Structure 1
Amino acid sequence: MAGNHGTIKGASNFNADAEAQKLRKAMKGLGTDEDAIIEVLVHTNLSQRQQIKMVYKSTIGRDLIGDLKSELSGNFEKVVVGLMTPITLYDVEELKRAMKGAGTDEGCLIEILASRTNEEIRRINETYRHQYGTNLEEDIVSDTSSMFRRVLVSLATGNRDESHHVDPDLARQDAECLYKAGEERWGTDEVQFMTILCTRNRTHLLRVFDDYRVIANKDITESIKSEMSGDLEDALLAIVKCMRNRSAYFAERLYKSMKGLGTDDDTLIRVMVSRCEIDMIEIKAEFKRAYGKSLYSFIKGDTSGDYRKILLALCGGED
């Protein structure tokens, strides 16, 4: 999953055995050398970390994840274990966590399902089944309700049109459908919103949003905010934002996780870990453009200890 737009790159002179020994040394004896662990993890990519994990077991005879969990705690442990987890499995574990026990982390479900590609969603479904012996869709159905549930189930099929084809007449028709389903009627036809926003391709939807503005004399997001509420509103807004600019959507998720009293650690960690090798460079740029401060300075002012150190390293610098 590593791309050219991540802040974390692979080590050029990579030696899995040497890195495994560094990690063992960092955890051996009294106390733990957190800086040494950070050093290894942020100077290797996910693929290299999987090699380290295998070599650690074969040469040291111990389970690396088990050792890390026994030596670390709290948010620092969450980030470290997240960085050691294959990206699809990480998404799967986050989805499961969001639905486990009392209460549901709706924001997590929306974020992952609205922002991943069809191929990523298909891999998530396969891994989820393999990992937990149940279908993701079944768990979503049992944990959510009403139209919000239907939107999540639709996104979880991974069946969005991913072509770049735009039919101007259909785009205009879709825009009119959305207007008639919301602004022009008493009550809202939520199914129309779901059908169009969850199935059409990105290029087509961008045209629909432009046409909608002309017809309704307001942005589609304003209509969603006035017509919907709660989790359904959040889900549909997330879809629109991801279609327009996915990096800006993640930048907003990071900003909201840190602004105000207290930090939403789960969201902050998930976005930093899951995007650091994919598009963190763009996310940082969008963050600075939208909020006038660097992501680095926000994290520095909002977190503490080794947790802060590793998140700052994932930022890839202050710019």
Structure 2
Amino acid sequence: MADLSHEHGALTKAFSGLGVDEKALISIVGNWQHDQKHSFRKASPHHFLADERQFEKWNEQQVELIKHEVLRFKSAVVLWTMHPWERDARLFKEALTKGPDGYSLIIEVACTRSSEELLGARKAYHSLFDSSVEEDVASHVHGHERKLLVALVSAYRYEGSRVHDESAKSEAEALHHAIKKNLPVEDEEVVRILSTRSKLHLKAIFSHYKELFGKDLDEEFHGFWSLKVALQCLVIPEVYFSEVLDVALRKGANEFTQEALTRVIVSQADVYMKEIQAVYYKRFGANLSQKIEETCLGNFKDFLLTLVARGD
């Protein structure tokens, strides 16, 4: 007879990260005997509860946890194999169901995609949901961020190499002036600059701001998270994504935060992954692949590591 207490510990370990250690699960559960006297259920009180009618029943919370963790791999594969337009359209839709917690995801998609990619996501959204992402953002987003978010999802930026340096310097000064006001997120000039200027032009503004005022512009927006997220996604996306991954890989992160791990790696595997890995190591003193190895399990872990390796 196998050591059931040992197997209970091994079973718990198989679900003790993000995803499931499928090989361990098969090895343990596949060899269990349905013997009432020496029941594996009796030896696994964390997973099974004694019923008053003298049988052991699954702990419903554990059932839901296992179902969810098994689905992580499937969800990652489905997200990866989607057309990028459909993927982003569905991310927009998901974000709109989260209320204010989803606003940063709307900004992320709107600001880290190219003009053609964002236009494609808007087309896919229209096809999938019979409405425009612009109108849905306008009707679901409330408060100071509405004007900014509608402008960002509506954007179609110039992507050429031309940058008007004097305009960039002038707009750096305009942003500095707006920051001194109470609500720069509602300032029309701030919204115009962030939603219409090319990413190269915004990089020039970022550089001029540092030269003129001695501070990084995104840090100046620290009290206005939507502006900070938008600027980072537009100018330094590798910094933004490294921070999102760090939070997603922390113990105790909520489910929506954990989902960012899959989303970022899937969406950025062929885009900024090399830069993200370098910034992640510099900022957090750890190799991203090693952190995934330590935090995730089974096929889910292997799939994420395969995608990260595409950036090597």
- If the length of structure 2 is used for normalisation, what is the TM-score? 0.70
Larger relative contact order (Cα-Cα within 8 Å, sequence gap ≥ 6): 1
Q: Among 278, 293, 305, which residue is 2:286 paired with? A: 293
Percentage identity across paired residues of the two chains? 26
Give, in whole Å, the separation in 2 of the partners of 1:251 and 1:139.
29
Give yes or no for the alignment of 1:254 onto 2:251.
no
Aligned-pair distance for 1:96? 1.0
Secondary structure of the residue aligned to 2:162 is: coil
Q: For residues 66-123 of structure 1, what are the alpha-carbon distances to aligned partners after superposition, in whole Å with 9 as ceiling and x for unaligned?
A: xxxx9x9421221121122112111111111122377752232121112111111110
Aligned-pair distance for 1:135? 0.6
Give yes or no for the alignment of 1:236 onto 2:227.
yes
Give yes or no for the alignment of 1:108 onto 2:105.
yes
Q: Which runs of 5+ in 2 are unaligned?
A: 1-21, 24-66
Secondary structure of the residue aligned to 1:145 is: coil
Give yes or no for the alignment of 1:181 onto 2:178.
yes
Give yes or no for the alignment of 1:215 onto 2:212.
yes
Q: Sort the Cα spacing of 1:266 and 1:138 in 2 relative to 1 into closer, same or farther, 3 A.
A: same
Q: Sort the Cα spacing of 1:179 and 1:262 in 2 relative to 1 into closer, same or farther, 3 A.
A: closer
Q: Which runs of 5+ in 1 are unaligned?
A: 1-33, 36-69
Aligned-pair distance for 1:137? 0.8
| Partner amino acid, structure 1, of 2:278 | A
Structure 1 moving runs of 4+ over 3 Å: 101-104, 185-189
Aligned-pair distance for 1:224? 1.0
Give, in whole Å, the separation in 2 of the partners of 1:244 and 1:101.
26
Q: Sort the Cα spacing of 1:198 and 1:265 in 2 relative to 1 into closer, same or farther, 3 A.
A: same
Q: For residues 100-151 of structure 1, what are the alpha-carbon distances to aligned partners after superposition, in whole Å with 9 as ceiling and x for unaligned?
A: 3777522321211121111111101111101111111111112112331211
Q: Sort the Cα spacing of 1:293 and 1:309 in 2 relative to 1 into closer, same or farther, 3 A.
A: same
Give, in whole Å, the separation in 1 of the partners of 2:106 and 2:264.
13
Q: Sort the Cα spacing of 1:103 and 1:201 in 2 relative to 1 into closer, same or farther, 3 A.
A: closer
- If the length of structure 1 is used for normalisation, what is the TM-score? 0.68
Q: Sort the Cα spacing of 1:284 and 1:181 in 2 relative to 1 into closer, same or farther, 3 A.
A: same
Secondary structure of the residue aligned to 1:147 is: coil
| Partner amino acid, structure 2, of 1:220 | L
| Partner amino acid, structure 1, of 2:261 | L
Give, in whole Å, the separation in 1 of the partners of 2:217 and 2:105.
23
Count of paired positions: 245
